[in-house]
Structure 1
Amino acid sequence: MSESEPAAAAAEAGEQRAATALLASGIEHTLTRHGRVGSLEEAAAARGVTPADIVKTLVVRRAEDDYLFVLVPGDREISWPKLRAHLGVNRLSMPDAATARDVTGYERGTITPFGSLTAWPVVADTTLTGRTISIGAGAHGVAATAYADEVVRALAADVADVTDPR
């Protein structure tokens, strides 16, 4: 078995887990497979959306073994003061790549709440709603395009102003 075979098997398992969770959610969506890309703009072009419509799923740690997902539009970034105030905490951090993989089952760049090993709470930025978005689907170059309000509903996401423009 080559070094890349376990990675390929993990990616396939991640994609399958996300696809199964998306189907189970009942939301209407389209899966897109385009392979690895080098930038947000390349990903948007490959998916037929604008960079603002690409949704990054970020893993945030509140405390030991207490994480949440934050859904951030591609043209925005987390506002740590806003997110801390919204959650009523003084400290938040982002776990390293290995920890994020361990708690979600997905490697960075493929993370999605759909099919995560643990159903962590989800916070979606207010700018996501009312439009079609493209969210990662468990493997590099795989995404689900869906109506944001349905994604928010399916994930029971808490919608809040937690980002700023990049």
Structure 2
Amino acid sequence: MTASKPDDGPAGVNNGAGRERFLADAAARGLEVRLVERLAANSLEEAARILGIEAADIVKSLVVKHKDGSFLFALIPGGRQISWPKLRKLLGVNKLSLPTAETAFDATGYERGTITPLGSTSPWPVYADRSITGRRISLGAGEHGYSAFVEADALTAALDAVVADITEPI
């Protein structure tokens, strides 16, 4: 399995550096991803329509700040949100938070809306909601205007992710 170049489209913002980091990391992990250029969307439902998938198949990569100052990625499917009590219990901590956009960028090298564990400038641990498993999902690809498609089970295995019940309906 190997990473592939985008289907179409010119290099985006930052000359594609984030997208290239994403693809290089996927390739290094032997992970097959398909990158597609896409239009901007104003909602999860609109993004799903643009991509031709269900909203639940769009997975957000959220950066979460641990009380000790480190970070982790939480992979959350569309239509769901982090269950803070579940995630805190899983980690055995009493405090977690979402950092500012600037802090998330500093921790990952990606802007909000493009964040992905693949190609992050720091290899933070990954926690994936169990509801994403067993299907093909879409996630950020390191650059605005692009989405990546990948098999969730292959992604979680490649990232050595902890798969657990960490969400609740929105």
Q: With the length of structure 2 as denominator, give the TM-score of the two structures.
A: 0.89
Contact 2:13 2:144 in 1 (8 A): no
- Residue 66 of structure 1: which of 45, 48, 70 is its match? 70
| Greater RCO (Cα-Cα under 8 Å, separation 6 or more) | 1
CA distance in 1, matches of 2:45, 2:134: 22
Contact 1:37 1:141 in 2 (8 A): no
Q: Which moved more, 1:154-163 or 1:25-34?
A: 25-34
Q: Which amino acid aligns with 1:146?
A: V
Q: Cα deviations across residues 33-71 of structure 1 (Å, max 9, x unaligned)?
A: 113222111221222211000000000011353000000
Q: 1:102 to 1:54 in 2, by over 3 A?
A: same
Instruction: Give the total of aligned pairs.
Output: 159
Q: Hey, what does 1:75 align to over in structure 2?
A: 79
Q: Which moved more, 1:86-95 or 1:44-53?
A: 44-53
Deviation of 1:79 (Å):
0.3
CA distance in 1, matches of 2:126, 2:41: 26
Structure 1 residues 130-145: aligned runs within 5 Å: 130-145=134-149
CA distance in 1, matches of 2:155, 2:41: 24
Residue 133 of structure 1 aligns to a residue whose secondary structure is: strand
Q: Hey, what does 1:96 align to over in structure 2?
A: 100
CA distance in 1, matches of 2:16, 2:33: 19
- Residue 13 of structure 2: which of 8, 20, 39 is its match? 8
Residue 96 of structure 2 aligns to a residue whose secondary structure is: coil
Contact 2:105 2:112 in 1 (8 A): yes
Q: Which amino acid aligns with 1:8?
A: V
Structure 1 residues 9-28: aligned runs within 5 Å: 9=14, 12-28=16-32
CA distance in 2, matches of 1:19, 1:42: 25
User: Can you give the 5+ residue segments of structure 2 that lack an aligned partner in the other structure?
Assistant: 1-11
Q: Cα deviations across residues 6-32 of structure 1 (Å, max 9, x unaligned)?
A: x922x6211111121122221222111
| Residues 1:30 and 2:28 are matched in the alignment | no
Q: Which moved more, 1:99-108 or 1:12-21?
A: 12-21
4+ residue runs of structure 1 moved beyond 3 angstroms?
none
Residue 147 of structure 2 aligns to a residue whose secondary structure is: strand
Q: Which amino acid aligns with 1:12?
A: G
CA distance in 1, matches of 2:29, 2:50: 25
Q: Hey, what does 1:4 align to over in structure 2?
A: none
User: Can you give the 5+ residue segments of structure 1 that lack an aligned partner in the other structure?
Assistant: 1-6
Q: Hey, what does 2:52 align to over in structure 1?
A: 48
| Residues 1:39 and 2:43 are matched in the alignment | yes
Q: Which amino acid aligns with 1:39?
A: S
Q: Hey, what does 1:114 align to over in structure 2?
A: 118
**Structure whose residues are more often helix by fraction:** 1
